[in-house]
Chain A
Amino acid sequence: MSNTFSNLTAILNSKAPFSNTAGKDALDIALIFGSFEQPTSLFFQGDGVWQLIQEQNGTIISVKDYLKTFAAFEFYDLENIYVCQESLIQRGLTTDFHIDNVQVLAKGDFAKKLAIHHTILRF
């Protein structure tokens, strides 16, 4: 039903988690939009898919492990989480994610899903 909102926002993650702050900056926006009750979806594409992979621990390399906070998405009503299947295949990754309710979409469906959003912020 949230697809009918005219202000539907997509946050597109395209960077691996720990070499820069893009993922954390995107997460901060997602949590704020969630807490303001804005219908918001999260997309993971390209190296962004690494943010969903299990058993990563930033603290070993002295980076705050912001990936742990992904477990709170449901609490913030962030329930639409999409990952690009081709990006996973290209990187030899499986669908064993560290959070539940991630929808794996073929690239055409991924693009279509993204296109229904009113605002896209890319990190």
Chain B
Amino acid sequence: MNKLAVVVTTPPYSNLSVTALEYIETALKSGIELVGVFFYQDGVIHANQQVQIASDEFQCLTQWQALQLTYKLPLHLCITAGEKRGLNDEDTNNIHPIFTVSGLGELVELANKADRVVQF
């Protein structure tokens, strides 16, 4: 009975996303089962592999990659929010492969699977 879902609505150039990443990492290290992360609103910008954050600033994508690799963490992207922000899973395919293209139905699934949902 220790399942967590996280909703990320903040973009990769926001320090609020660092807080989200630190929270998620701490939860995973504490043995809490993370059923998935759902990216919504400006949170979907995390998935855009063409976004360039200055090298002396925090690199969210590197952290997401590390978490996904270590914990097989499901990273779901709301594609409607993504398309509004230039993400495309067909022609240009600028979505980083660690992200799963999903819709709001996936958020319903995650909310049902989790004992707790935390939104950033």
Question: What is the interface of chain A, defined by CB distance below 8 A to chain B?
Answer: 7, 9, 21-22, 25, 28-29, 32-33, 36, 38, 119-122
Contacts and interface: CB of A to CB of B under 8 A. Distances in A.
Contacts of B103: 32
A105 B30 CA distance: 39
Nearest to B41: A25
B19 to A, nearest CB: 15
Nearest to A12: B119
B112 to A, nearest CB: 6
A56 B114 CA distance: 38
Contact of B107 (A7, A21, A32, A122): A32
B41 A9 contact: no
Given A9-B111, A29-B107, A36-B108, 14 more contacts: A21-B41, A22-B41, A25-B81, A28-B80, A29-B40, A32-B104, A32-B107, A33-B108, A36-B105, A38-B108, A38-B112, A119-B117, A121-B7, A121-B119
A32 B18 CA distance: 29
B105 A119 contact: no
Q: Which of B7, B80, B111 has the most CB of A within 10 A?
A: B111
A60 B99 CA distance: 38
Nearest to B106: A32
B76 to A, nearest CB: 13
Contacts, number: 34
A32 B78 CA distance: 12
Q: Chain A interface mostly helix, strand, loop or mixed?
A: mixed
Contacts of B108: 32-33, 36, 38
Interface in B57-84: 80-81
A37 B105 CA distance: 11
A38 B40 contact: no
Contacts of B111: 7, 9, 33, 38, 119
Contacts of A32: 103-105, 107-108
A10 to B, nearest CB: 11
Interface string B28-47: 00000000000011000000
Given A28-B104, A32-B107, A36-B105, A7 B81 contact: no
A114 B7 CA distance: 19
Contacts of A119: 111, 114, 117
